[in-house]
Each structure stands twice: as C-alpha cells, then as structure tokens.
Structure 1
Amino acid sequence: MRIVTILFAAGWATWTSAGEFNAPWKDQSVPLIIDPYYANSINWDKLATERRVVAIIHKATIGTSELDPQYIKRKEEALKRGYLWGSYHWGVTGSPEKQADFYIDTVKPASDELIALDLEDALSEKLMNVDEAILFIKRIKAKTGRYPVLYTNHSSAKLISTKYKDSIFVKTPLWYARFKSNVTDFPVGVWPSYTLWQFSSEQLVQLPVSGTKPDMDINIFNGTKEQLKAAWPLTKVEP
C-alpha cells in the first residue's frame, strides 16, 4: 500500500510515498496524465478505455504569438468527456513577461485548469532560461493570483535546487521529466519530490496507452486518482 504524506507549502500540495521513485506507474492506483501537442494523434474512444488516464495537459502557446492548432478543439473534446484539463507554455528566449501575457490572455484558464511553464533547458540561449523563467512566473502570479506548475528535466531541476533554493521556484510544483524506471538521485533542495513525473515518451516508451501512439508523453501524479482530483489544478489563488 502506498503511504502518502501531504505536504502543504506555499499553497500547493506535494505527495510523497515510499515507492515514488521506483517505477511507480506499475501501481494501478496511480493516475496517468497525457500531455499532447498537435502532432500527437488521439483516438478519444480508445483513450476512454484507459481508466487510469484522468487528466490532459495540452501544449498551448509558444513565445508571444503561436497557438497550438489543436488546442481549442481538443480542450472542448476533453472537457466534454470529463477529463481534468490543463495547458502549458513552451518558453523561448526573450520577453518573458510578454510571453506570460500571451499565454494567459490566449488560454484564459478557468480556476480549475492547470497552468504550466515548459522550461526545457535552464541554461539555454535559444529557449527560455532560468532567469527568464523567474520573470515569467512572477508575471503569471500577477495576472492570475497563482503560480504555474514548472515542467523541467533533471539537469535543470538540479541547477535550480542548487543555485535557486530560496527563489520563487519553491512556489511552483515540479513536473519532472526523467525517462528511467528507478531514480536514485532526485535533486532535493527546492522540491522535496515531484508532483508530476513525465516518465514515458518517444525517447523511451515505458507504458503504452490505448488511443495514442508511442510518441505520446505520459505522466504520473505522486499520489492516487482521488488525491489528484482533490488537488487539481495543483496551485491555488493566493493574495
């Protein structure tokens, strides 16, 4: 049985358990979340047979002008079918506040929709870097009253946990991208654990999901289906 501890910090919850880093997706009580973009195909009727898939976080915007062409249509279909819904912004270099404005003004997220920043490489010169991400996060907070979830990989999470321990990142639940079954070196510092873990993608297919192809990104929540539904959208409005 998974032993889950609820840690309330800065208005958001992180769920931790004894087996959280050893292929936790094998536990059938752990819910799955997919995060597609327009090129990922979805057969909605087949996807409905995957009872563990309870949420979808769709790529929404890039930079200051680009909207994913499938975003609006898929949001309508997902909500009609009862999925929890969320979106993420792909950060590029330059104008982080304008990117935040474009993301929020385009998506217009409801209070029950997850919002997230995709920080692909904290040290990138072409994509959004860690200092730009801080400005983006602050702008999102100013516009919405809540902090976004932060998607990033192991090396970027390690950098943040080492050099930005007392920064605004402590307010952002971690969406951890790591394609291996057993993690023994999670970079504790800013985050005690992951909130979401992207564990399967075209880079390494760990768990195929009906209604999708092997290129689909698949994630778990660090807790049960009931806990995910109670915690969604993982951040709440703060003063």
Structure 2
Amino acid sequence: MSDHPSCIDISHWQGFPDFEDVAAQGVVACIMKATEGTSYIDPNRATNYVNATAAGIACCTYHWIKPGNAAKQMEFYLSVVDPVGGERMVIDYEEDGLRLQELLEAVEVLKADPRELQVTVYSGHLLKEQLGTDCNDYLAENTDLWLAQYTDGTPSWPSGTYPHWTLWQYSESGEVDGIDDTNVDLNRFDGDNDELVRWISPAGFAPPKPPEPEPSEAVIVDITAPTNLPVLVTVNGAEVQQRRRRPRLRVPRGPDLR
C-alpha cells in the first residue's frame, strides 16, 4: 500500500501543514475536522482550509458526533461551516455509545437543509456491527461510506447497505512531507484522482488550479539570423511584436569627415 495517498484527513493534531509540500506528493484532496459535539470547533480548520485550497487541494469537513442530541450537533456543524450549495458534509460515526437511530437523525438534518448537501458517513467496526448484513434503505439512498479499516488487503464490508466503500481509510500512522506528525490518516478513493476531486468538491464545482508562479528572473534568448529573413517569435503561444533593425552601413571615415 502506498504511503503517498491522494487523500488525507486532518485535525488540529496535525498543526498547520505546508500544503505546497503536501500537494507536491500527489495529495489532491483533504477532509478536515470542523466540529465535535455541540460546542467544540477545531481551531485550525479555517486557516488550513484556505491554505489547502490555495495549493490546489480539494477540501471538505467532518463532524465528530457524540452520543445524544444528534439534531443539535448537526445544527451546530452547519452553523460553523456555513456550507455552500451541494457541499459535502461528513459524519464521523465511531464513538462508543452511539446508536444507529442517532446517525439516521443526523443524516436527516443535513439532508433537510435547502442547500442540497452531499452526506458521507465515516465509520468502521461500530457501523459494521450495527448494520450487519441488513440493508438500511435510508442510509443507502442518502449517504455513501468512508470506511475505516487498517489492513494490508482488501477491506471487508457487509454488502447489505453499501455495496462498496467510496473512500477507505487504510492507515492512521502515515507520514506526509509538510506535516509535522507521524500519525496522518491515509485514504484511498474508489476511482481516479479526477473522480476524487469531483466527489469531495461541492456538487457541480471543482477547486481552481493554483496560479502559475511569477518568474523570478527574465528569460533571455539570443538568436542569430540572416538580416533578410523574417523572424516570428512566440512566447507561451502568443506572438511577440518585434522591431526590425536595419543593418548599419559602414562609412569610411577620414580626417575630413570627423
């Protein structure tokens, strides 16, 4: 399994990464913790979101749901993130004591939002044990699965509700240049990088590519050509206007011409 994935997920534990270095390793997507419970806001998310997007990395957020008050937790999540239309919202469903009904209630709140949000459920053994081989039609129709399972082989999942995972967190101890932490979560998407960017971005949108850096030095090109030969110069596909210089005639100089 590659230690340089196309998608990572982070929280304040990873500090403030250098996203230029992160992107240089092929990371095109990042999921960031936004909130937890009904009062906790990740202090690094807003800054990291701006910096990651500027580096050309597509981003979305997740909420760590706790037992009780599922609807209020989602209202808090929405108020903090203030998502745009079609934005992807992720419910981190893993804490002991959570009940399936609480997950369903949380999804209902997000799906009822008029901004037509996309909803993903992150979970591992907890949801696997609660669903078993049964199919929960509401989850199947309104969410997709981000599976947490740390294994070297193909992850296992009951096919009742989700025929297949969409995103797979296969490691919680990765190392990524630009992040001063040896416990970075690494993920694999069920598709190529272009599909991953479309999936993680708001529906119908993709993040703009970062602007080309300004050159630090002038580029000098010296060409020698016959004086009677037309020369056409293009730079980055655009024609450059040239001043044609007439050849100077050598005039003999004598004492009377000085």
TM-score range, shorter chain: 0.7 to 0.9
Superposition TM-score, scaled by structure 2 size: 0.70
Match of 1:47 among 22, 35, 54: 22
2:82 pairs with 1:115: no
Distance 1:157 1:235 in 2: 28
> What's the secondary structure of 1:210's corresponding residue?
coil
Structure 2 segments unaligned to the other structure (5+ residues)? 205-258
Cα displacement (A) at 1:38: 0.3
Which residue identity does 2:143 align to in structure 1? T
- Which residue is 2:254 aligned to? none
Match of 1:140 among 73, 85, 110: 110
Distance 2:77 2:164 in 1: 27
Structure 1 segments unaligned to the other structure (5+ residues)? 1-22
Distance 2:202 2:168 in 1: 14
Distance 1:54 1:117 in 2: 21
- Which residue is 2:59 aligned to? 85
Distance 1:189 1:57 in 2: 26
Would the alpha carbon gap of residues 147 and 153 (structure 1) be closer, same or farther in structure 2, given more than 3 Å must change?
same
Contact 1:149 1:234 in 2 (8 A): no
Aligned-residue Cα RMSD (Å) equals: 2.3
Which residue identity does 1:106 align to in structure 2? V
- Which residue is 2:197 aligned to? 229
> What's the secondary structure of 1:201's corresponding residue?
strand
Superposition TM-score, scaled by structure 1 size: 0.76
Match of 2:47 among 66, 73, 85: 73
For these two proteins, the number of residue pairs brought into alignment is 201
Which 4+ residue blocks in structure 1 deviate beyond 6 angstroms?
A: none
Cα deviation code 1:43-71 (max 9, x no counterpart): 323213212x1011100001111100001
> What's the secondary structure of 1:181's corresponding residue?
coil
Contact 2:89 2:119 in 1 (8 A): yes
2:177 pairs with 1:210: yes
Would the alpha carbon gap of residues 112 and 84 (structure 1) be closer, same or farther in structure 2, given more than 3 Å must change?
farther
Same amino acid, percent of matched pairs: 28
Distance 1:130 1:156 in 2: 8
- Which residue is 1:36 aligned to? 10
2:138 pairs with 1:198: no
Higher RCO structure (Cα 8 Å, ≥6 apart): 1
> What's the secondary structure of 1:223's corresponding residue?
coil
